Structure 1
Amino acid sequence: MPADKRATVHWEGAGKTGKGQISTETGALKDYPYGFASRFEDDKRGTNPEEILGAAHAGCLTMAFAFALEGAGFTAKSIDTKAAVRLTQDGPGFKIDRIQLELEAVIPGIDEAKFQELAAGAKAGCPLSKALASVPEITLKATLRS
């Protein structure tokens, strides 16, 4: 059975004025800063949970798509995926109401219909898409490049 993947957060202070650090067990993030300004304003000196979620979702979709291609007898020359996660006001709190995924790939020998079928299946089947099923809108724009 696979082991749990772990991350930790340390926070000090109040919600708006406090500061936190996010770390992952792999060291990909090590005491990486985040706070109100990097989450709700345009401060690029830290990260936020939504951009980390977007990166995770894009990574999950990309890998699921690569496996789907392999199962159908194709190998991607390249796959590039972007995710945009929108955080909106929800009463006194906030919610994620939209995730937009964009996948562009170069895949020798595949036709557009098969490409779209496999991309849609990867979106539906990736573990993070399943975990995020409560998000009202998750879209995928898949573009086949030559």
Structure 2
Amino acid sequence: MITRTATARYEGMGKTGQGWISTQSGVLQQQRYGFNSRFEDGAGTNPEELIAAAHAGCFTMALSFALAGKGIEEGTLETTAKVKVDRDGEGFKVTRSDLSLTASVPGIADEDLRALAETAKVNCPISKVLNAEMTLDVTIGNP
């Protein structure tokens, strides 16, 4: 089993509070977040942005391993994830994650690449943890 950790600290409450997020790897160290960065255009990060980064990274790596399993060693994959948040009663809920892949992978038929991408979308660990609708748009060409 692999365990990864992150820490969030929030001082003050609600809209006037402010928080900081740090990760085990140190990639994020005291990264600011709060109401303004989450629900408006304020500086800092937010949990949904971090989920989008995790989903794009997980899916892209899963697809790269699937391609390697087919003997493909060269190519470029670039994925953007757009995580959507909607009201859910009194709170909010992540309702979907739209993945957009641009792939330049010589040595594989387009339909085979699309099939592997669909499998990666369903089977990457972050896809499995999200209880949300997911879409995948694939563009084959230079990312």
Question: Which TM-score band (shorter chain)?
Answer: over 0.9
1:47 positional shift: 0.3
- Contact 1:83/1:99 (8 A) holds in 2: yes
Aligned length: 142
| Structure 1 counterpart of 2:23 | 24
- Contact 1:85/1:100 (8 A) holds in 2: yes
| Structure 1 counterpart of 2:96 | 98
Alignment identity in percent? 50
List runs of 5+ in structure 2 lacking aligned partners. Answer: none
- Contact 1:76/1:105 (8 A) holds in 2: no
- Contact 1:75/1:108 (8 A) holds in 2: no
Instruction: Give secondary structure in 2 for the equivalent of 1:16.
Output: helix
Measure, in 1, the Cα distance between the counterparts of 2:96 and 2:75.
Answer: 29
Instruction: Give secondary structure in 2 for the equivalent of 1:138.
Output: strand
| Structure 1 counterpart of 2:44 | 46
- Contact 1:66/1:76 (8 A) holds in 2: no
In 2 relative to 1, CA 125–108 (structure 1 residues): closer, same or farther, beyond 3 Å?
same
Measure, in 1, the Cα distance between the counterparts of 2:75 and 2:61.
Answer: 13
Aligned equivalent of 2:60, options 45, 50, 62: 62
| Structure 1 counterpart of 2:140 | 144
Give the alignment's TM-score, normalised by structure 2: 0.95
AA aligned opposite 2:77: I
1:70 positional shift: 0.6
List runs of 5+ in structure 1 lacking aligned partners. Answer: none
The answer to whether 1:109 aligns with 2:107 is: yes
1:74-106: CA deviation from partner (whole Å, max 9, x where unpaired) = 134211110101111112111111110111111
Which stretches of structure 1, 4 residues or longer, exceed 6 Å deviation after superposition? none
| Structure 2 counterpart of 1:34 | 33
- Contact 1:116/1:142 (8 A) holds in 2: yes
1:32-70: CA deviation from partner (whole Å, max 9, x where unpaired) = 000000000111x10000000000000000000000001
Aligned equivalent of 1:119, options 98, 117, 136: 117
| Structure 2 counterpart of 1:79 | 77
Instruction: Give secondary structure in 1 for the equivalent of 2:14.
Output: coil
Measure, in 2, the Cα distance between the counterparts of 1:94 and 1:131.
Answer: 17
- Contact 1:38/1:46 (8 A) holds in 2: yes
